[in-house]
């Protein structure tokens, strides 16, 4: 995930300072396994792989620090991993 974000940021130039900050803040948190930009780029969303035990800390620390640095409120949406598509 880290290499993917770096490529989207550096090779394709589809990230922005705000998204890079979210990714950086998330990566520094214990329990975060990876973070990267997702979606259309140019200031959209990040996807983060986070251990369940670290979700509350991520929400408080990352979103709080992001608001302090940018003045922008961010949202966190939780999703569980699924088995994915399969044939019946």
Instruction: Going from the first residue of the chain to its last (88 residues), give the mean pLDDT of each consecutive group of 10, the final group possibly shorter.
Output: 93 92 97 91 83 96 97 93 85
User: How big, in percent rounded to 5, are the helix, strand and coil portions of the chain?
Assistant: 45, 15, 40
Query: Whole-angstrom Cα distance, residue 65 to residue 28?
Result: 12
pLDDT at 43: 66
pLDDT in tens, 6-24: 999 999 998 999 999 999 9
Count of Cβ atoms closer than 10 Å to residue 22 Cβ: 23
The answer to whether 33 and 51 are in contact (CB under 8 A) is yes
């Amino acid at each position: 995930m880290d290499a993917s974000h770096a490529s989207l940021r550096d090779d394709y130039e589809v990230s922005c300072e705000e998204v890079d900050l979210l990714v950086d803040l998330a990566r520094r948190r214990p329990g975060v396994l990876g973070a990267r930009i997702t979606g259309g780029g140019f200031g959209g969303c990040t996807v983060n792989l986070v251990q369940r035990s670290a979700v509350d800390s991520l929400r408080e620390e990352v979103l709080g620090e992001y608001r302090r640095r940018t003045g922008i409120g961010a949202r966190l949406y939780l999703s569980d991993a699924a088995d994915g598509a399969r044939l019946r």
